[in-house]
Amino acid sequence: MSKQLLDNIRKMRNDEIVGLAKNRFLPKDLQLAIVDLPYRTGHKHLIENAGLCAEARDMLWSDRVNSGYVYKTELITNGHYKDEPEKYWELFDKHPSAWYRSEWRMLHAFVYSKHAWWGKAQGLECGANYTPTDLLNTIYDQRYKKSRFQPEPYSFGSHYRHKAFVEHPNCDLKLAIKVSTCGLAEAEKKAFEKIVELS
């Protein structure tokens, strides 16, 4: 059956490829064949597949398949690299412009640790829960910490973003102290609670 599917994958309609890409029990050779197709929706469903094999995952991460940040953020968001903290750093270092283009996507990959309710139903883990503590501090310092160069860095939803840093499972005392002086009442309250918890 797998051979027949493999031999005909380039003849399949888009809905047939999507159906395969969603299947958690899809064998490795078919996953790799879908990665080789120039079909972003098929790739998207593979990335959201809890049964994604390491070889297909690494191909989707590679610049050969997609040189941008979208696939990389989605792979991390869906927990496919939860045991490889260097991939978090690689994404952060290699794609700084992604913060300007799609801040919400980067926050979901690195910071929003409570927003993967939909992924649990599909057998996925929230990848943001595994962001290393030192990276969380770096993101906060570079992107969200108030400074004399950014007297008004806050916009709609700022309190929510700042609170998310404190609610992250890898928030340390150093990060909580920084958030406790951010000037946003809700976030500061959460930060003080975290300081008490960690002290």
For 91-100, the pLDDT digits (tens) are 999 999 999 9
Residue 115 has what pLDDT? 58
Whether 98 contacts 69, CB under 8 Å: yes
Integer Cα distance of 115 and 117 in angstroms = 6
For the chain, give percent helix, strand, coil, nearest 5. 65, 0, 35
158-167 helix and 185-198 helix, angle to the nearest 10 degrees: 10
pTM: 0.90
Q: Which of 58, 106, 110 is CA-nearest to residue 80?
A: 58
Low-confidence ranges of the chain (pLDDT < 70): 1, 114-121, 147-157
Its sign, for the CA torsion 169, 85, 87, 198, is: positive
Cβ count within 10 A of residue 24: 10
Residues 6+ apart with CB under 8 A from 159: 184, 185, 186, 187
Residue 33 has what pLDDT? 97
Whether 126 contacts 163, CB under 8 Å: no
Residue 116 has what pLDDT? 53
H runs (alpha helix) in the chain: 2-7, 14-22, 28-36, 40-47, 54-61, 70-77, 85-94, 98-101, 103-110, 117-121, 133-139, 158-167, 173-179, 185-198
Residue 155 has what pLDDT? 55
Residue 152 has what pLDDT? 46
For 157-189, the pLDDT digits (tens) are 677 899 999 999 999 999 999 999 988 889 999
